Structure 1
């Protein structure tokens, strides 16, 4: 069959697959490849005619963005380990670099490009695989593919495509959904994708992410995600349970159930008005099963919307103590007018009703949220409505996002942008309020018992002197750490015995997600352990605690 004119034939030796890289160099043969820039195809750079392709022994996977991206990066990491490659850090000049990109904002896309440049600078001979959301959109932000670079343009097929790269099988690579097409476009490719491999551990993480849902067709005015992940899919319950058991067996005590639009688990659209069967809450059914997995101490949910909180889901949260009393409910704005412009599926009043229902059924739940400040057309009155709603809810944490137009979204075309100076001022106002609310939320738990999942630990060695029951607190604890009541006090020390003592400081998350700091503990506290603590004091960013 004749090839399109925008393709040209090349007899160059292209970057070898991993299996080829392990062969003797003399066994490799040049292969004919198609190189070109046709929109919508898998693109692959190659070695030039005089370039010797290096063997592949080490790899590095870097991820930017959300929990779904981190999950998929972990899939790639485990896959390459199963193929016998050795993981190293990026500074270790790996032979293969996988960059899981993010493009939800222009800043995220810029960071993705910076990471690609850094990887190329550290090891110019490395094969770089670009995956995630950035290659999936035709925004012009992806840098030109150089030698030894591969772009996977369909995130849904990233695992299958990475396997094809490794095995040098191009058959599934020339594929991409028409992700820029609007819903209902007949050109939209709805071909089922190959199910990705599951994960069995999250090395270096105390909490494991478990992606159960992918895709969004909601087309919120500010969001690029429907262009990058337009097809909805949900992982079958049995596969979710099997993966959860594997993660527990690997030592993870907490699993974060994640998805691009988690509330649409088991649905073929995120638009609730198009749901034909509303009598069944499939997310609640999944969580009821997941909560029964032996050894799973904690379940946490990623972002939800108010419409996702049904009576069935509330019943589920109340029935299982290992589902944490913490819900991240996206708000974005407290103004109904702005919510409508954003194309959100709720009003401020509906949001408050859901929060009131949760507070009536759960013991002081932590409600966290995201808010966009300075969306086009946002007036002072709109912002005041957001402030009032934030105060009414009493959020335990607020992520404040100053609006920046994202190329390819409806909001980027709106004609009434807000002055950047006003956006900065409003953002500062909201952040100050959020900090006050977070501290007020923690205050109600001071003096109570909580459980902390240890995420990090440090140690310090201090001199300790004893003599007839007296000690020098400045030496024992350091000049700035002994109690104020004995600060700058000098004791007469006789018959002293010098001793070096190590104390440990650990930090982690409570059930309600705020950080607790355990200071000067006499013995190590293993990372990933859950410890019962007494919350002792409230600091600006965390609570202090001692082990009960």
Structure 2
């Protein structure tokens, strides 16, 4: 094997882990295939957080198999790790449910050892070599040794040295969730809570800075639970409530750390210490993504979220006092079982009251083996037509709020990180995209470059 390709679906954590997979393959001597080239190996890193995500993952697997019939295809990520093993529908050469085994499998593939399929008869069904949990090849001594050496830190895969092909780099510091929101399948896929040690995080951040990345985004499955043993807030160690804030402070203090950003948090993750750190460091983006999910107290309770609407509004008020025109983005689910029009209107009201700078709208879809599946049977499901209507209404509010927020930022001087050059575009600390076509330096701008711009 000489060449590879990695296809990624889903969240920032998946994108980060795909970079780790890429790095492993490069360490084993493989090179990334050019777009028009047939890779020897294709890794599809899947997502299944929603039915739509699962469907897209399966479609991607089939497309890869059709486009690269002679390639070895590995399917990993959340889809095969799910309780229903949804990846078994599209046949693949290798299905990896436990990512901890990936380094071993990839090494053996790259060296044409037991898992290599280069000489396999491809007229056989594609699943003739499918790896399953009890495959004897995964229980031989070297595999067992590999698994025994895995710690409870946030990664069994390697520390990144760069984030290939991206101007901004994600840095995963936490993994796992056991909060069990009623609509969510993630606790059944990533149930083990683990945290990356501070020393490892700082080493990795230094690597990414050295590689030329001007922005680093801290990410995790439940980022606010960093340094805790559970995502269930009531069981948190009070002495570690500010561990994330202290980690952020240490990263921001690194030499040549241009911009640091935090990914999704729950409102109660935003401690006074975190706001203090963000406010005293000029290289931390004045942007927080606070997941609301619903503005209705009734629906929020059914979702089993760990905060109230009052909690959310109180934190937003603190954030707005701490920063000049901060960007507050959010996620909202439309059409949760039992959501009445009154519930939905409460969500619209809260969205306008907060003045979100961006709303990510998600249409509810039932996931098997979740409490929400039972709720759908008990309360009934919202019709697809009604969900579409409500989603459109929320998206219209989002467009209005985005416009208002951008206008409110007029006169601010932002440091813009160039992400695209044709036409030139980039993001400032407040996250929204800025068109730079009319700037004097438009023709000379390069990806990854930072420029100051008065909005």
| TM-score, shorter chain, exceeding 0.5 | yes
Matched, 1:105 2:25: no
Pairwise mapping of residues 140-289 of structure 1 onto structure 2 (< 5 A)? 140-144=85-89, 146=91, 149-159=93-103, 161-163=105-107, 165-166=109-110, 168=113, 192=151, 195-278=156-239, 280-289=241-250
Matched, 1:524 2:444: yes
What is the distance in 1 between the residues matched to 2:22 and 2:317? 42
What is the distance in 1 between the residues matched to 2:352 and 2:99? 39
More helix by share: 2
CA RMSD of aligned residues (A): 2.1
TM-score normalized with structure 2 length: 0.88
Unaligned 5+ runs, structure 1: 1-55, 177-188, 459-504, 536-548
C-alpha contact 2:62 2:90 (8 A) present in aligned 1: no
The alignment partner of 1:526 has SS state of coil
What is the distance in 1 between the residues matched to 2:221 and 2:53? 17
Distance 1:524 1:354, change over 3 A: same
What is the distance in 1 between the residues matched to 2:282 and 2:213? 17
The one of 383, 391, 413 aligned to 1:449 = 413
C-alpha contact 2:355 2:405 (8 A) present in aligned 1: yes
1:425 equivalent in structure 2: 389
Of structures 1 and 2, the larger Rg is shown by: 1
The alignment partner of 1:398 has SS state of strand
Aligned length in residues:
419
Shift of 1:447: 3.2
Shift of 1:533: 1.0
TM-score normalized with structure 1 length: 0.73
1:67 equivalent in structure 2: 12
Shift of 1:162: 3.5
Deviations 1:283-327 (A, max 9, x none): 011111101111110001110001101111111111111110000
What is the distance in 1 between the residues matched to 2:431 and 2:90? 42
2:350 equivalent in structure 1: 389
Distance 1:72 1:138, change over 3 A: same
Matched, 1:348 2:309: yes
C-alpha contact 1:257 1:300 (8 A) present in aligned 2: yes
Deviations 1:2-38 (A, max 9, x none): xxxxxxxxxxxxxxxxxxxxxxxxxxxxxxxxxxxxx
C-alpha contact 1:509 1:515 (8 A) present in aligned 2: yes
What is the distance in 2 between the residues matched to 1:312 and 1:212? 19
C-alpha contact 1:139 1:408 (8 A) present in aligned 2: no
Shift of 1:144: 4.8
Shift of 1:444: 1.4
What is the distance in 2 between the residues matched to 1:127 and 1:300? 37
Deviations 1:144-164 (A, max 9, x none): 5757x1111124554455345
Matched, 1:336 2:290: no
What is the distance in 1 between the residues matched to 2:236 and 2:83? 31
Shift of 1:195: 2.9
Shift of 1:365: 0.7
C-alpha contact 1:370 1:400 (8 A) present in aligned 2: yes
Pairwise mapping of residues 2-17 of structure 1 onto structure 2 (< 5 A)? none
Shift of 1:127: 1.0
C-alpha contact 1:60 1:96 (8 A) present in aligned 2: yes
- Choose between structure 1 and 2 for higher RCO, CA contacts under 8 A separated by at least 6 residues: 2
C-alpha contact 1:75 1:159 (8 A) present in aligned 2: no
What is the distance in 1 between the residues matched to 2:27 and 2:240? 43
The alignment partner of 2:436 has SS state of strand
2:123 equivalent in structure 1: none
Deviations 1:429-475 (A, max 9, x none): 111011100110010122332211000112xxxxxxxxxxxxxxxxx
